[in-house]
Structure 1
Amino acid sequence: MVLKNKLNITSQVELNKTEEKISKKKAIKLFDSGKINKINAGTVEGLQQIHKFLFEDIYDFAGFIRNVNISKGNFRFAPVMYLEQSLKNIEKMPQSTFDEIVEKYVEMNIAHPFREGNGRATRIWLDLIFKKELKMVVDWDKIDKEDYLSAMERSPVKDIEIKHLLKNALTDKIDEREIFMKGIDASYYYEGYDEYDIHKLFS
């Protein structure tokens, strides 16, 4: 079933392409405008702002906490009835060390607060925490898709793999546009969105 969208697209293939194109452009606009630096890193509100900015041209629910239960494969994300409290607890989690930041990220992934677009928004959110607290960001282009997906799948039980992957991909090039752009392409590729090279959208 195709998610209801503002563009009245009824084909999943067409929606995927359009969503990728529009939201990748919005991601770069978020960076180029400087708005990304005004987001309060590590907060639920900050994550909502990122999600809204990326997807507001496509979905009415952009930036809003979901009111339906969702799952992926055999994994059920936080039930709606516990989601609000779960997000409050996550926001209170410390974020001053690498381990604390990744643990907070893992918990936010388990919460999956939005109807769609969680991974893409939350990876930007994670980078903002790393940038604020450690003066580092993730060079996502260095992390293999299958390695990342399997590490995230296991992360609710064992987070050593995702910590290893992220630690080895950290860079101090925190304000470099190219790192951000390549990171967006990689982030979308993890989710199966690889129709558009972000550089060609701006050529």
Structure 2
Amino acid sequence: MSRYRANEQDEFQSGSRGRVLKNLLGITSVRAIQRIEYEALERSRKAYFNKIELTTVFTTDLITEMHRDWLGEIYPFAGTFRIVDVIAPAQGGVPEFRFSHAGYIPSNMATFSTEVLGRITPCRATGTSELSDMLAEAHAEFIAIHPFREGNGRVGRWITQLMALQAGFPPPDHGFSDRNGPQLRREYYRAMSVALNRKDYKLLTSHFQQALDRGERSYRA
């Protein structure tokens, strides 16, 4: 399922009333596709928790492999860059944001891989303050590109989980499934909006610091 506006109208599953992207399983129910995506992501996340090594440098190839391993049995576009332009519509006081033009994605991802991931991975943060800075930058820069047709937010958060584990910290817990999850999600979207529109990572860094603290508490519980 996609929450973004795209410039193509024939990419949705027949019978889904424009709510579910074309998929290999013929699913038309939003709830069903969400459940299958979630279960597939949990399997892939666990596999990569064991796959990423202390010396692993995160690259475009690794990220596309992650996307393919997660969604390869669900969507035909898994592991490939999107060919449509997408826009995050304005909502809840968060302004509209236009992600990278589809034609620029390969070059933008190459720059992201070299100038961001190549600089901060392997992740060697010595504390959560330094780590939250790294995670906020990596997450915001990846989301600004939005390279895939579906699952960018989840892949972006997955990348930060792997980076935290690589540095020897529990993965960040954004708290979206907690009692106050809706409020935390709104705060996350606001922080992302500021990071994307103003290149100001302070709010997002604070969000990741809290997520790391939450992850640490969950780990010790």
Same fold (TM over 0.5): yes
TM-score range, shorter chain: 0.7 to 0.9
Unmatched runs of 5 consecutive residues or more in structure 2: 1-17, 90-95, 124-129
Q: Is the 8 A contact 2:135 2:205 kept in 1?
A: no
Match of 2:112 among 90, 104, 108: 90
Are 2:189 and 1:149 equivalent residues in the alignment?
yes
What is the TM-score of this pair, normalised by structure 1? 0.74
Q: Which has the higher contact order (CA 8 A, sep 6+)?
A: 1
1:12-27, aligned counterparts within 5 Å?
Answer: 14=29, 16-27=30-41
Does residue 161 of structure 2 align to residue 127 of structure 1? yes
Alignment partner of 1:55 out of 71, 76, 94? 71
State TM-score, norm by structure 2. 0.68
Matched residues, number = 172
Aligned to 1:169: 211
Which secondary structure state, in structure 1, belongs to the residue aligned with residue 106 of structure 2? helix
Structure possessing the higher radius of gyration over alpha carbons: 2
Q: How does 1:84-123 map to 2 (within 5 A)?
A: 84-92=106-114, 93=116, 94-95=119-120, 96=123, 97-98=130-131, 99-123=133-157
Q: Distance in 2 between matches of 1:116 and 1:50?
A: 13
Q: Residue 41 of structure 1: CA displacement?
A: 5.7
- Classify the secondary structure of the residue corresponding to 1:71: strand
Matched residue, 2:171: 137
Deviations along 1:101-149, one digit per CA (max 9) or x if unpaired, are 3212111000000011111122111111122135342012277111111
SS in 2 for 1:109: helix
Runs of 5+ unmatched residues, structure 1: 180-203
Ranges of 4+ aligned residues in structure 1 off by more than 6 Å: none
Q: In percent, how many aligned pairs have the same letter?
A: 25
